Amino acid sequence: MIELNTISKTFNAGTPQQVRALRDINLTIADQEFVIVVGANGSGKSTLLNVIAGVAMPSSGTILLDGMDVTHWEDYRKSRWIARIFQDPFMGTASELSILDNFRLAAIRTHKKGLSIGIDSKFKTKVQERIAMLGLGLEDKLEQRMGTLSGGQRQALTLIMAVMDDAKIILLDEPSAALDPRTAALIMAKANEIIREFGLTGILITHHLKDAALYGNRILLMREGSVVHDIKADEKRKMTVGDLQNWFV
Ligand X SMILES: Nc1ncnc2c1ncn2[C@@H]1O[C@H](COP(=O)(O)OP(=O)(O)OP(=O)(O)O)[C@@H](O)[C@H]1O
Stretch that binds ligand X, among 45-53, 108-116, 129-137, 156-164 (CB under 6 A): 45-53
Among 2, 4, 43, 175, binds ligand X (CB under 6 A): 43
Residue 20, helix vs strand vs coil: strand
Return the number of other C-beta atoms located less than 10 Å from residue 45's C-beta. 24
Would you count residue 246 as binding ligand X (CB under 6 A)? Answer: no
CA 211 – CA 188 distance, rounded (Å) = 8
Nearer to ligand X, 43 or 102 (CB): 43
Question: Phi/psi of residue 212, each to 5°?
Answer: -65, -35
Q: Which does 21 bind (CB under 5 to 8 A by kind): ligand X, Mg ion, none?
A: ligand X
Q: How far is the CB of 128 from Mg ion (least distance, A)?
A: 34
- By C-beta, is 46 or 102 nearer to Mg ion? 46
Residues 131 and 103: their CA atoms lie apart, in Å, by 11
Interface with ligand X includes 21 (CB under 6 A)?
yes
Starting from the edge strand earliest in sequence, which strands make up the sheet with 2-11, in order?
19-29, 2-11, 60-65, 68-69
Separation of alpha carbons 82 and 165, rounded Å:
10
Taking CB under 6 A as the binding criterion, the range among 40-48, 65-73, 136-144, 181-189 that sits at the site for ligand X is: 40-48
Q: Contact between 201 and ligand X (CB under 6 A)?
A: no
Contact 12, 69 (CB under 8 A): no
Binding site for Mg ion (CB under 5 A): 46
* Shortest distance (Å) from residue 144 CB to ligand X: 31
Binding site for ligand X (CB under 6 A): 11-12, 19, 21, 39, 41-47
